[in-house]
């Protein structure tokens, strides 16, 4: 047991987020320090932030230990939070320090208030004006005189802090002390809500009761798109607020937070705290503190909000719980939905998983009775679900550079001039997926990845979707040197936009793609403008499928439904089903009925069949049966293993050495497959080899994996990454 308080001179164990792999011992400072306190400690020549974690059990003589440098003015980390971080580390097989890093992402946490400064605009202008300096001045002018902390100003203006220093010396920026943080306004759960229909009322009552119970539990809130799930779970939020507890709503996409916050404000009369990468550093620090103090009662955010220091978390909503973006794919490989359930279980909280198309894992848990279930089967009000129709493209001899078939084109024609919108969905960013030399057949690839370069016309460059590197479109083929032989093959959204503009020159066209270089704010304004009728034809990638509400939209065209079905990934069928269902759900959300046309070369594919039939339960049942037969998740446990390194031979050697230790798994009736080159066999110059561990459900996989990993010493530069419950394989 760790004592509650350490007196001056006591030995304390401090966990920092430095990659050290263990708790370090220090001496408690003058005045002592509480268990869980956030502190700064000397580490070599530096000072790093850490948490008082334990009593410290090193054998280094007490009198030689360095003392804790500062105790940070913030509420101490609660035992439940420590337990959560520990469990996340154990589950994902990542070092605790890496997990702690997720929990201490409050910029300037360690700064004393005296160090908090803001810049306001002075009258002097610098002798030399640069574009960066001009952006800083324009940013402050736009804010109409409101001062900004340096880090926020740098982020908003897109400049380095060095630029700010220069402007400070020139007298353009004036330093003053930061005002005290404004408290978060109180949300009122008892303001009148929208009158709910019968289904919604039943669902809301069930959730309210669950929240009131003050116990741990999970509910699948399954409702067709537009059924009003949000209104239902906001009632659960209201109940958590009434109980004096905190609530967290996770959303899969930053671009959705703005509209959601407006909805919260209408319902509860004030804005919640917001937490994601688009929030400025000062606002993140303010939110982090207010959450730790228990003052911010509702947080809306991205998956990382799960690691905020809630005092008394009573409810977590995971909206669009099936969404792939809940899995963090670098650093700590965690799935926010699963970790939400874990966090709730440690704080007697309820989790609500809201979706129209649950992940098979979630569906299976509800089937097994582990999760409660609420169903909303109809759209709210008079809106109907869209009619779904497959368009067989096998005989369609489309001209080159065209991907919109006759039936879809007719649908678009019929809507132009009526004020109704059409949405064309193609899950491919950029202009064309392939750039090929017509003379020699060379496909232009990335220098550091085993991946093709994708042409992006908006920026007029080729881009690698693996590493993000861009380069100019070469005037000649890099292989044979012939000029003007490079040709774009296949469509991306930008090229589809070209087809649309050529065929419907008078239509207003909007492209929504996640690689557009605009701020979250600008993107949201653009989406709002589109929703208000600012476009006739919307072209989008995956990001348009997510919760956006376009009331004028009545036609959805899926350009190529077969894209996601190829490749044989474990979740290919599930993902295609979810994606097409969700994108179709954008149509006909108001009073006009919607139509969804699905262009496919595989009209007999069972996934397409399931989408058309509308019998979701039949789809989940057959998908579940297939997984069960494979021993695949959720009926078995899988762990992906990626071995990567700069040297191909050493990387493969390590993977083979690991494979030779497979006996450890067979003894536990698990098995090891591989090694084989990963689907993208090289990224950023590193070779990638993968293995797969399959285990029956009851096997405790993590301890086995940890022992297995430790049996092989990876040579310098070679990394072994374990991915529990991989999203694709």
Q: CB nearer to ligand ADP: give 226 or 430.
A: 226
Span near ligand ADP by CB under 6 A; candidates 203-211, 228-236, 574-582, 608-616: 228-236
CB 209 to ligand ADP: min, Å: 19
CB atoms within 10 A of CB 106: 22
Residue nearest to ligand ADP (CB): 228
CA atoms within 13 A on the CB side of 145: 1
For residue 441, the 8-state DSSP code is -
Assess 463 for contact with Zn ion (CB under 5 A). no
Q: Which does 225 bind (CB under 5 to 8 A by kind): ligand ADP, Zn ion, none?
A: ligand ADP
Residue 464 touches Zn ion, criterion: CB under 5 A: yes
Partner whose binding site includes residue 35, from Zn ion, ligand ADP, none (CB under 5 to 8 Å by kind): none
> Does residue 446 interact with Zn ion by CB under 5 A?
yes
Number of residues that bind ligand ADP (CB under 6 A): 15
467 touches Zn ion by CB under 5 A: yes
161-169 helix and 150-157 helix, angle to the nearest 10 degrees: 110
Which residues, at least 6 apart from 433, have a Cβ–Cβ distance to it below 8 Å?
A: 452, 454, 489, 490, 491, 492
- Residue 444 engages Zn ion in binding (rule: CB under 5 A): no
Is position 257 an interface residue for ligand ADP (rule: CB under 6 A)?
no
Q: Give CA torsion, residues 315, 89, 103, 345, to 10 deg.
A: 10
Q: Is 103 or 224 the residue whose CB approaches ligand ADP more closely? A: 224
Torsion of CA 708, 712, 716, 719, to 10 degrees: -20
Based on the shown chain and the rule CB under 6 A, indicate whether residue 380 belongs to the binding site for ligand ADP.
Answer: yes
In the bound state with Zn ion, the residue whose beta carbon lies nearer, of 338 and 455, is 455
Residue 193 binding Zn ion, by CB under 5 A? no
If one asks whether residue 40 binds ligand ADP (CB under 6 A), the answer comes out as no
Which of 70, 402, 466, 470 forms a contact with Zn ion (CB under 5 A)?
466
Which residue, 245 or 586, is less far from ligand ADP as judged by CB?
A: 586
- Least distance in angstroms from the C-beta of 168 to ligand ADP: 46
Residue 264 Cβ vs ligand ADP, minimum distance, rounded to whole Å: 12
- Alpha-carbon Rg for the chain in angstroms: 27
* Token reading at 162: 């060095």
Q: Is 219 in the site for ligand ADP (CB under 6 A)?
A: no
Distance separating alpha carbons of residues 77 and 84, to the nearest angstrom: 11
Q: How far apart are CA 386 and CA 402, in angstroms?
A: 26
Question: Do residues 224 and 379 make contact, with C-beta atoms less than 8 angstroms apart?
Answer: yes
H or E segment and range at residue 511: strand 509-512
To ligand ADP, the closest distance from the beta carbon of 220 in angstroms equals: 13
**Phi, psi of 121, rounded to the nearest 5 degrees:** -80, 125
Shortest separation between residue 537's beta carbon and ligand ADP, angstroms: 22
Q: Is 243 annotated as a binding residue?
A: no
The rounded distance, in Å, linking the Cα atoms of 461 and 439 is: 21
On whether 480 is known to bind a ligand per the annotation, the reply is yes
Give the interface segment with ligand ADP, choosing from 136-144, 219-227, 492-500, 538-546 (CB under 6 A): 219-227
Burial readout 193-222 (b: 16 or more C-beta within 10 A, e: otherwise): eeebbebbeebbebbbebbeeeeebbbbbb
Using the rule CB under 6 A, which residue among 13, 50, 217, 223 binds ligand ADP? 223
Of 247 and 454, the one with the shorter C-beta distance to Zn ion is 454
Tokens of 516: 């557009």
Q: Is 196 in the site for ligand ADP (CB under 6 A)?
A: yes
Measure the CA–CA gap between 577 and 605, rounded to whole angstroms.
Answer: 11
Min separation Cβ 531 and Zn ion, Å: 35
Distance CA 438, CA 435 (A): 9
Closer Cβ to Zn ion, 137 or 680, answer by number: 680
**434 — phi, psi (to 5°)?**
-135, 140
Three-state DSSP class for residue 688:
strand
One character per residue 465-504, x = contact with ligand ADP (rule: CB under 6 A):
----------------------------------------
453 near Zn ion, judged by CB under 5 A: no
Residues binding Zn ion: number (CB under 5 A): 7
355: contact with ligand ADP by CB under 6 A: no
Nearer to ligand ADP, 117 or 194 (CB): 194
Q: Please, what is the end-to-end C-alpha distance for the chain in angstroms?
A: 42
Integer Cα distance of 356 and 326 in angstroms:
16
| Residue 446 interacting partner from Zn ion, ligand ADP, none (CB closer than 5 to 8 Å by kind) | Zn ion
Write the CA distances from 568 to 290, 563, 565, 572, 728, integer angstroms. Answer: 46, 11, 7, 7, 10
Contact 231, 196 (CB under 8 A): yes
Max distance between CA atoms of the chain, in angstroms, equals: 84
249 near Zn ion, judged by CB under 5 A = no
List the single partner that 226 binds among ligand ADP, Zn ion, none, CB under 5 to 8 Å by kind: ligand ADP
What, of Zn ion, ligand ADP, none, does residue 464 touch, CB below 5 to 8 Å by kind? Zn ion
Interface with Zn ion, residue 306, by CB under 5 A: no
Q: Smallest gap, in angstroms, from Cβ of residue 618 to ligand ADP?
A: 22
* Pairing mode of beta strands 671-683, 686-696: antiparallel
Instruction: Give, as one character, the DSSP assignment of residue 534.
Output: I
CA distances from 142 to 137, 157, 666, 704, 719 (A): 9, 11, 64, 57, 47
Q: Of ligand ADP, Zn ion, none, which one does residue 449 interact with (CB within 5 to 8 Å by kind)?
A: Zn ion
When asked if residue 228 is in the footprint of ligand ADP (CB under 6 A), the reply is: yes
**Of 54, 155, 172, 227, the one binding ligand ADP by CB under 6 A:** 227
φ and ψ of 666, to 5 deg: -60, -35
Instruction: Report whether 596 belongs to an annotated binding site.
Output: no
Contact range with Zn ion by CB under 5 A, out of 44-52, 406-414, 463-471, 640-648: 463-471
Tell the smallest beta-carbon distance from residue 229 to ligand ADP (Å).
Answer: 4
Beta bridge partners of 218: 351
For residue 230, state whether it binds ligand ADP (rule: CB under 6 A): yes
Stretch that binds Zn ion, among 268-276, 303-311, 441-449, 604-612 (CB under 5 A): 441-449
| Strands (E) located in 211-252 | 217-223, 246-250
Segment (H or E) for 167: helix 161-169
Enumerate the β-bridge partners of residue 220: 353, 373
Among 157, 204, 449, 658, interactor with Zn ion by CB under 5 A: 449
Contact 50, 41 (CB under 8 A): yes
Q: Is 231 near ligand ADP (CB under 6 A)? A: yes
Residue 16 and residue 387: Cα distance in Å, rounded? 55
Cα-to-chain-centroid distance, residue 300: 13
With CB cut-offs between 5 and 8 Å by kind, which of Zn ion, ligand ADP, none does residue 200 bind? Answer: ligand ADP
User: Which of 118/463 has CB closer to Zn ion?
Assistant: 463
* Residues in touch with Zn ion (CB under 5 A): 446, 448-449, 464, 466-467, 469
> Binding-site residues, please?
437, 440, 446, 449, 464, 467, 477, 480
Report the interface residues with ligand ADP, using CB under 6 A. Answer: 194-197, 200, 223, 225-231, 380, 549
Query: Binding site residues for Zn(2+), as ranges?
Result: 437, 440, 446, 449, 464, 467, 477, 480
């Amino acid at each position: 047991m760790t004592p509650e308080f350490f007196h001056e001179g006591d030995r304390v164990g401090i966990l920092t987020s430095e990659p050290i792999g263990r708790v370090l011992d220090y001496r408690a400072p003058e005045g002592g320090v509480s268990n869980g306190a956030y502190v700064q400690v000397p580490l070599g020549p530096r000072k790093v932030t850490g948490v008082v974690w334990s009593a410290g059990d090193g054998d280094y003589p007490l009198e030689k230990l360095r003392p804790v440098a500062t105790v940070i003015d913030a509420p101490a980390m609660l035992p439940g939070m420590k337990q959560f971080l520990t469990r996340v580390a154990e589950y994902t097989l990542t070092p605790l320090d890496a997990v702690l890093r997720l929990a201490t992402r409050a910029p300037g946490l360690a700064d004393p208030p005296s160090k908090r400064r803001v810049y306001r605009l002075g009258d002097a202008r610098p002798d030399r004006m640069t574009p960066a300096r001009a952006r800083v001045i324009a940013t402050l002018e736009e804010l109409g005189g409101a001062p900004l902390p340096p880090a926020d100003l740098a982020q908003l203006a897109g400049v380095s802090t060095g630029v700010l220093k220069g402007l400070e010396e020139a007298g353009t920026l004036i330093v003053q002390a930061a005002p005290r943080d404004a408290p978060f306004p109180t949300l009122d759960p008892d303001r009148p809500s929208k009158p709910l229909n019968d289904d919604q009322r039943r669902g809301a009552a069930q959730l309210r009761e669950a929240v009131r119970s003050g116990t741990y539990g999970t509910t699948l809130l399954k409702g067709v798109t537009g059924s009003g799930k949000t209104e239902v779970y906001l009632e659960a939020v209201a109940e958590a607020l009434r109980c004096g507890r905190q609530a967290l709503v996770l959303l899969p996409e930053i671009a959705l937070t703005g509209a959601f916050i407006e909805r919260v404000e209408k319902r509860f009369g004030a804005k919640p705290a917001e937490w994601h990468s688009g929030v400025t550093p000062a606002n993140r620090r303010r939110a982090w503190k207010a959450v730790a103090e228990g003052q911010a009662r509702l947080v809306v955010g991205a998956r990382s909000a799960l690691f905020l220091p809630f005092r008394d978390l009573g409810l977590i909503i995971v909206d669009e719980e099936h969404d792939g973006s809940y899995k963090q794919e670098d650093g700590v490989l965690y799935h926010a939905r699963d970790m939400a359930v874990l966090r709730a279980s440690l704080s007697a909280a309820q989790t609500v998983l809201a979706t129209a198309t649950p992940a098979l894992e979630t569906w299976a848990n509800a089937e097994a009775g582990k999760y409660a279930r609420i169903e909303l089967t109809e759209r709210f009000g008079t809106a109907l679900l869209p009619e779904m129709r497959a368009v067989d493209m096998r005989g369609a001899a489309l001209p080159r550079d065209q991907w919109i078939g006759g039936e879809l084109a007719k649908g678009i024609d019929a809507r132009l001039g009526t004020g109704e919108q059409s949405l064309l969905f193609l899950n491919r960013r950029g202009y064309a997926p392939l750039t090929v030399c017509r003379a020699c057949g060379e496909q232009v690839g990335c220098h550091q990845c085993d991946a093709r370069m994708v042409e992006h016309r908006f920026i007029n460059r080729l881009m690698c979707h693996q590493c993000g590197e861009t380069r100019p479109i070469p005037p000649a083929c890099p292989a044979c040197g012939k000029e003007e032989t490079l040709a774009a093959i296949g469509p991306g959204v930008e090229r589809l936009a070209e087809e649309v503009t050529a065929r419907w020159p008078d239509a207003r066209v909007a492209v929504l793609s996640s690689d557009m270089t605009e701020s979250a704010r600008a993107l949201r304004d653009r989406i709002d403008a589109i929703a208000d009728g600012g476009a006739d034809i919307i072209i989008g990638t995956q990001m348009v499928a997510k919760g956006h509400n376009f009331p004028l939209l009545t036609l959805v065209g899926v350009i190529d439904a077969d894209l996601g079905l190829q490749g044989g990934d474990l979740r290919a069928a599930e993902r295609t089903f979810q994606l097409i269902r969700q994108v179709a759900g954008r149509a006909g959300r108001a009073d006009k009925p919607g139509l969804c046309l699905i262009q496919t070369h595989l009209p007999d594919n069972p996934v397409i069949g399931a989408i058309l039939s509308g019998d979701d339960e039949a789809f989940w049942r057959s998908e579940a049966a297939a997984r069960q037969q494979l021993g695949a998740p959720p009926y078995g446990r899988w762990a992906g293993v990626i071995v990567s390194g700069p040297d191909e031979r050493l990387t493969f050697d390590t993977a083979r050495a690991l494979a030779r230790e497979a006996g450890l798994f067979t003894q536990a009736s698990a098995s090891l497959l591989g090694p084989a080159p990963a689907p993208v066999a090289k990224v950023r110059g590193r070779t990638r080899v993968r293995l797969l561990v399959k285990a029956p459900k009851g096997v405790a996989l993590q301890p086995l994996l940890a022992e297995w990993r430790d049996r092989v010493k990876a040579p310098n530069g070679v990394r072994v990454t374990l991915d529990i419950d991989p999203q694709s394989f």
